[in-house]
C-alpha cells in the first residue's frame, strides 16, 4: 500500500483525486493539506509540517506559492514528490531541478496520459513538418484558470521548439499589422465558462492543414494520471521523473 499526502486536497482536483483513489487498491490518501479545512475521510492539516501520518508519496495539486514548504517537507522526510501544479516561475522550476538531486521529484505540466502521448508525437513530426507548415497552438480553459498560456501549451511548444534545428520564436497572440514570420510558433489562450482543457496544434501548409488535438472531457483524466504517477514514484531513488517514465512503465 502506498500512502499519499495530498496537498490541495480541498480544491476541485483534490476532491476528484480523493474520489478516484478508491478505485486503486494499492493507493490510499492517508492525509491532506489545504488552507481550507473541509470534512474528509482522512485528516486534513493547514500546515504540511503538522502531518503525523506515515506517508510514502507527496502529491501536490495546488498553487505555486506552496512549493517551498512541500519541497522542504519532502527533503526533511526523504519522500518522493509528485508535482502536478502549473504556473511555476523560472526560478521555481530551477529550484525543483535542484531538489531532484537530493529527493525523487516527479513533475509534469499535464497529467493526462493522452496529452503526453500527443507530446511524444510532436517530438517525432515537428522537424519533418516545419519546412512546409506554419505552426500555431491554441489552448482553451475555464474562466477560473490563473496562468496563461497554460503549462500544457508551453510544454507542447517547448517540445516543438526543441525538435526543430532552426531558430524559432514564440508569438503570444497577435495584434497590429505585419505578416507572420515562418519562424513564429504562435501560442494563443482562450478563457471562458467551464472548459476543462483543450489543446490544438495546427500545422498549416499550402493547400492542407494538419491538426493534432486533445480535449479533456472531465478532470478525471488528470486525476488518473496523478494517481498513476504516485504508483510509479513509490520507492523511487533520487532523481527527476516525468510522465514519459510513467508511459514507458505502462508499455
State pLDDT tens for residues 75-89.
999 999 999 998 899
Residue 189 CB partners (closer than 8 Å, separation 6+): 139, 140, 141, 148, 149, 150, 153, 172, 173
How many C-beta atoms surround the C-beta of residue 173 within 10 A? 10
145 is catalytic: yes
Clarify whether residues 124 and 158 are in a common domain.
yes
For residues 117 and 205, membership in a common domain is answered with yes
Range of the domain at 137: 113-216
List the grid coordinates of 93: 522550476
Do 105 and 124 share a domain, yes or no?
no
CATH classification at residue 79: 3.40.50.720
Catalytic, out of 28, 95, 145, 161:
145
124 annotated to a ligand binding site: no
Q: Is 193 annotated as a binding residue?
A: no
Indicate the pTM of the whole model.
0.83
- For cell 514564440, name the residue: 170
Say whether both 6 and 104 belong to one domain: yes
178 and 143, same domain (yes or no): yes
Give the cell for residue 118: 500527443
| Residue 65 and residue 135 in one domain | no
Whether residue 120 is found in the same domain as residue 209: yes
State the Cα–Cα distance between residues 223 and 111, nearest whole angstrom.
7
Asked whether residue 10 falls in the same domain as residue 101, the answer is yes
Total domains present in the chain: 2
Whether 89 has a binding-site annotation, put simply, is: no
The string of pLDDT tens digits covering residues 116-157 is 999 999 999 999 999 999 999 999 999 999 889 998 999 999
Structure letter (DSSP) for residue 171: E
Residue 4 to residue 35: CA distance in whole angstroms:
18
Amino acid at each position: 500500500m502506498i500512502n499519499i499526502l495530498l496537498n490541495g486536497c480541498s480544491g476541485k482536483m483534490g476532491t476528484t483525486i480523493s474520489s478516484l483513489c478508491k478505485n486503486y487498491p494499492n493507493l490510499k490518501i492517508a492525509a491532506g493539506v489545504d488552507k481550507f479545512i473541509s470534512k474528509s475521510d482522512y485528516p486534513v492539516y493547514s500546515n504540511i509540517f503538522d502531518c503525523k501520518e506515515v506517508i510514502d508519496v507527496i502529491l501536490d495539486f495546488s498553487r505555486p506559492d506552496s512549493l517551498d514548504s512541500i519541497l522542504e517537507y519532502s527533503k526533511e522526510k526523504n519522500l518522493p514528490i509528485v508535482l502536478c501544479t502549473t504556473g511555476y516561475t523560472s526560478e521555481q522550476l530551477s529550484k525543483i531541478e535542484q531538489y531532484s538531486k537530493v529527493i525523487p521529484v516527479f513533475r509534469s505540466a499535464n497529467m493526462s496520459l493522452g496529452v503526453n502521448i500527443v507530446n511524444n508525437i510532436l517530438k517525432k513530426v515537428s522537424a519533418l513538418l516545419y519546412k512546409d507548415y506554419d505552426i500555431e497552438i491554441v489552448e482553451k480553459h475555464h474562466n477560473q484558470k490563473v496562468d496563461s498560456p497554460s503549462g500544457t501549451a508551453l510544454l507542447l511548444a517547448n517540445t516543438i521548439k526543441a525538435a526543430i534545428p532552426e531558430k524559432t520564436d514564440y508569438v503570444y497572440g497577435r495584434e497590429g499589422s505585419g505578416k507572420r514570420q515562418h519562424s513564429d510558433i504562435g501560442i494563443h489562450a482562450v478563457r471562458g465558462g467551464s472548459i476543462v482543457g483543450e489543446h490544438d496544434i495546427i500545422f498549416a501548409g499550402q493547400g492542407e492543414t494538419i491538426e493534432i488535438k486533445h480535449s479533456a472531457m472531465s478532470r478525471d483524466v488528470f486525476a488518473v494520471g496523478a494517481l498513476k504517477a504516485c504508483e510509479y514514484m513509490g520507492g523511487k531513488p533520487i532523481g527527476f521523473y516525468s510522465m514519459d517514465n510513467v508511459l514507458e512503465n505502462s508499455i
